[in-house]
Structure 1
């Protein structure tokens, strides 16, 4: 069972709220790493392709074909941005609210049949839970989608989750990660974030987090406080602890 957790007073209430589950949130005393914040689509679950397929199908019913090059524009961003872009690019006669409903419905139908995990995702979540590392799920997807996915991932793995429709500004803004860190009671600069898109990476870095990028659709270059790996199979607790400065 989940409950809403307001952000602490030090964080502007305008950032929104997070959904919490009962899991230990004490800082891991053996490491400078205080928490791990995980993206969902394309990072833990192999669903970035699902979203694009649904967008293609919905716009086909509206009489429009999507250019495959647009996939890189809409991946990893908030629903309002991707849907708004596609409406403008195609000239489709539909408003943003109606399109958002159709896209969410189509995605829910897709994941009802199968929800493939990314390689290494189940092992990483199990390890973080075993060592009681405070962990949050931070996604640009809406709450209705996150709750469906949590049923498969296991909500017990996460201290809280932050949805794109629960913050005033979602990715690429830092708000979702600031909300997650505040909800767990940790310093964002002592958090490791795992992301698969440039949009998510930008959000995490703007929040001051250390980032592990696992590119799913478009390449992501290494940078300061950013490590790029080819798969979650390369990521474990020791790896994440190693991202933190020793001083």
Structure 2
């Protein structure tokens, strides 16, 4: 994919400092939050529990252990975290295979622009490796220097560890990394790591804050826009 934006010195930030873009997956690049909720609802329904829609705002964007742990506590279901996590992942993969990985508007265009401009880019997700690999068949693995899964790190979002590790692997200062996220959990992780955040809210609204930019869609994001987010705060 080619870009309509001239490729001019976008790999360094102000003063020559390397910069990078770190992207969340579910709800940010791929419209899968609904599929995750459908998978969780199906698994718990099979055990005799109808999930209240109010729980959706709590589990969205969180690591599997936290989401399933909350639903176990809320329903009192008699099953282990490991059993339910495996069942939800398996159900999600079945739903994903049936429906495909629906991309968020502007996702492929943004990834193509970042690649064309040579901007170091990584995918940082709380989802498990097996799930990420399934979605990369649609997104294109070639757009990322590397991808980081939630089951490949001891502490995932909302802890800062995933974004700190991603920045280190790209050789970039976290303060010069622009993170694109859709949930409060992901935003908290990125901000705790010292990154600048562009929030594209999916299920739950995210308010603007210092060091945080909120947009309505990935279609608003361009390489010059992300570069400006990086440079204006330094």
The normalised TM-score by structure 1 is 0.87
Structure 2: distance between partners of 1:161 and 1:223 = 27
SS at match of 2:230: coil
User: What residue is the counterpart of 2:60 in the other structure?
Assistant: 75
Question: In the alignment, which of 167, 184, 203 is matched to residue 170 of structure 2?
Answer: 184
Alpha-carbon offset, residue 154 of structure 1 = 0.5
User: What residue is the counterpart of 1:36 in the other structure?
Assistant: 21
Q: Aligned residue pairs: how many?
A: 222
User: What residue is the counterpart of 2:199 in the other structure?
Assistant: 213
Matches within 5 A, 1:89-100: 89-100=74-85
Q: Is the 8 A contact 1:138 1:177 kept in 2?
A: yes
Structure 1: distance between partners of 2:193 and 2:173 = 10
Structure 2: distance between partners of 1:152 and 1:104 = 18
Which ranges of structure 2 fall in alignment gaps of 5 or more residues?
Answer: 1-8
Alpha-carbon offset, residue 111 of structure 1 = 1.3
Alpha-carbon offset, residue 245 of structure 1 = 3.1
User: What residue is the counterpart of 2:43 in the other structure?
Assistant: 58
Higher percent of residues as helix: 2
Alpha-carbon offset, residue 29 of structure 1 = 3.5
Structure 1: distance between partners of 2:11 and 2:202 = 30
Q: CA distance change for structure 1 residues 54 and 132 in 2, over 3 Å: closer, same or farther?
A: same
What stretches of structure 1 move > 2 A for 4+ residues in a row? Answer: 29-33
The normalised TM-score by structure 2 is 0.92
Deviations 1:176-223 (A, max 9, x none): 001111111111100000000000000000001010000000100000
User: What residue is the counterpart of 1:232 in the other structure?
Assistant: 218
Question: In the alignment, which of 113, 116, 126 is matched to residue 140 of structure 1?
Answer: 126
Question: In the alignment, which of 200, 212, 229 is matched to residue 243 of structure 1?
Answer: 229
Give RMSD over aligned pairs: 1.5
User: What residue is the counterpart of 1:88 in the other structure?
Assistant: 73
Structure 2: distance between partners of 1:57 and 1:29 = 47
Q: Is the 8 A contact 2:13 2:227 kept in 1?
A: no
